[in-house]
Amino acid sequence: MKFPPFSYACPTSLAEAIDLLNDNEDSRPLAGGQSLLPMMALRVAAPGMLVDLGDIEMLRQNMVLPESMRIGAMVTHATNAASLDIWMHFPLMSQALHHVAHQAVRNRGTFGGSIAHADAGAEMPLVVSALDGMLLLQGREGERSVPAADFFQGHYTTAIESGEILTGVEIPFSDMDWAFEEMARRSGDLAIAMAAAGVRIEDGVCRKARLMFGSISDRPVRADEAEAFLIGRELTPPVIREVSAMAAAGIHARSDTHASAEYRLSLATALMRRALTRLATGAM
Partner 1 sequence: MRRADEDQRLDVVATVNGRERRFSVLPRLSLADTLREELGLYGVRTGCEHGVCGACTILVDELPVRSCLMLGVQANGKTIRTVESLAEGSSLHPLQEAFRRHHALQCGFCTAGILATSQALLAENPCPTREEVREVLSGNICRCTGYQTIVDAIMDYAENGQAGVAGGERGPAE
Number of residues that bind partner 1 (CB under 8 A): 34
Q: Which is nearer to partner 1, 38 or 147 (CB)?
A: 38
> Measuring CA to CA, how many Å separate 252 from each of 32, 62, 159, 243, 265?
32, 35, 22, 17, 9
Q: Does 79 bind ligand FAD (CB under 6 A)?
A: no
Residues 58-77 interacting with ligand FAD (rule: CB under 6 A): 73
Residues 89-148 interacting with partner 1 (rule: CB under 8 A): 101-105, 107-108
DSSP character string of 26-92: TEEEESS-TTHHHHHHTTS---SEEEE-TT-GGGG-EEE-SSEEEEETT-BHHHHHT-HHHHHH-HH
Nearest to 122 by CA among 82, 93, 161: 93
CA-CA-CA-CA torsion for 121, 124, 125, 130, nearest 10 degrees?
120
Report d(CA 28, CA 14) in Å as an integer. 14
Residues 181-240 interacting with partner 1 (rule: CB under 8 A): 186-188
Q: Which is nearer to ligand FAD, 53 or 128 (CB)?
A: 53
Nearest distance from residue 141's CB to ligand FAD, in Å? 15
Report d(CA 16, CA 9) in Å as an integer. 10
Q: Which of 9, 14, 146, 261 binds partner 1 (CB under 8 A)?
A: 9
Nearest to 71 by CA among 13, 136, 125: 136
Nearest to 214 by CA among 76, 92, 110: 92
Q: Does 11 bind partner 1 (CB under 8 A)?
A: yes
With CB under 5 to 8 Å by kind, the binding choice for 125 among partner 1, ligand FAD, none is none
Residues 115-134 interacting with ligand FAD (rule: CB under 6 A): 116-117, 122-124
Q: Which is nearer to partner 1, 49 or 261 (CB)?
A: 49
Contact footprint for partner 1 (CB under 8 A): 1-12, 16, 33-34, 37-38, 41-42, 48, 50, 52, 54, 78, 101-105, 107-108, 186-188
Contact footprint for ligand FAD (CB under 6 A): 28-36, 38, 53, 73, 100-101, 105, 109-110, 112-114, 116-117, 122-124, 160, 165-166, 188-190
